[in-house]
Structure 1
Amino acid sequence: MEKVTPFLMFQDGKAEEAMNHYVSIIEDSEITSVVRYGKNETGNEGTVMQATFSLKGQEFMCIDSNVKHQFSFTPSFSIFVTCDTEEELDDLYGKLIIDGQALMPLGDYGFSKKFGWLNDRFGVSWQLNLPK
């Protein structure tokens, strides 16, 4: 086995927008490759056939599904981020919650200094933690 990589499937052509958003709000992050559907291929021309990006060194893969599925992302799988400062946590939460949904608003739930859990505008679930 070579490696294990989290894989995100977006619908409605949102993969590139999501990747750009994530790498713009998390420092030391980058899009490492993008392969797009071409003319007369199975996906919509110009959308993401397969892409990779990294967030603070963690690699992810993603696609734009060319099939409309009856499912999307679920909070059962989330991206867990350990923040260094309260300011960093507040800033990241503020950028991810825009047009998203709070599952656990920022607060002290007893297991950390501050914690928040949300679904972003793309439906991806994030847990943001400031350890004690």
Structure 2
Amino acid sequence: MNPKITTFLMFEGDAEEAITFYTSLFDDSEIVRIAKYGPDGQFGPDAEGTVQHALFTLKGQPYIAIDSYGHDFTFTPAISLFVECDSEEEIDKLYEKLSDGGEVAMPLNNYGFSTKFGWVQDRFGVSWQLNYGALEFE
């Protein structure tokens, strides 16, 4: 059964690098299929070999990614991927890998609403909220 809503990520030339990186970080993750632009694609020969359309999974959750060019926008931290981690080891590893070359919005800490939480924007511009422990919304 296909989900009705799937997260769609648009990159500008590094989609394959990003999804290869992401699928290496999470168990139950894979690149399901990937189609690439040829020399006569919609973005011309400079886009040859970049991702026209990719389907991949992270922890079994499907995502779509493409490379697209010429836009005046990119990723924003206003939308992020929220990850419930199964252990402190997992959150520590993800925080280290995802923040490498990116920016930290909130360092790993206990902020009162969770045992351990961190928020980073990775080197590709995608924002990740990482959580370990029960969230308390009161």
TM-score grouping bracket, smaller chain normalisation: over 0.9
Q: Superposition pairs for residues 1-132 of structure 1, below 5 Å?
A: 3-11=4-12, 13-43=13-43, 44-65=47-68, 67-132=69-134
CA shift for structure 1 position 15: 0.2
Q: Please give the per-residue CA displacement for 1:11-60, whole angstroms capped at 9, x wherever unaligned.
A: 1x110000000001111100001011112111311110000100001100
Q: Please give the alpha-carbon distance, in whole angstroms, between the structure 2 residues aligned to 1:49 and 1:128.
A: 29
Percent of residue pairs bearing the same amino acid type: 55
Tell me which stretches of 4 or more aligned residues in structure 1 moved more than 6 Å.
none
User: Under a length normalisation based on structure 1, what TM-score does the superposition of the two structures give?
Assistant: 0.94
SS class of match (1:92) = helix
SS class of match (2:4) = coil
Q: What is the count of residue pairs matched by the alignment?
A: 130
Q: Please give the alpha-carbon distance, in whole angstroms, between the structure 2 residues aligned to 1:41 and 1:21.
A: 25
Q: Please give the alpha-carbon distance, in whole angstroms, between the structure 2 residues aligned to 1:130 and 1:2.
A: 26
SS class of match (1:17) = helix
Which residue identity lines up with residue 48 of structure 1 in the other structure? V
Aligned CA-pair RMSD: 1.3
CA shift for structure 1 position 68: 2.0
Q: Please give the alpha-carbon distance, in whole angstroms, between the structure 2 residues aligned to 1:114 and 1:2.
A: 30
User: Under a length normalisation based on structure 2, what TM-score does the superposition of the two structures give?
Assistant: 0.90
Change (3 A) 1:27 1:2: closer
Q: Please give the alpha-carbon distance, in whole angstroms, between the structure 1 residues aligned to 2:54 and 2:124.
A: 16
Q: Please give the alpha-carbon distance, in whole angstroms, between the structure 1 residues aligned to 2:57 and 2:111.
A: 29
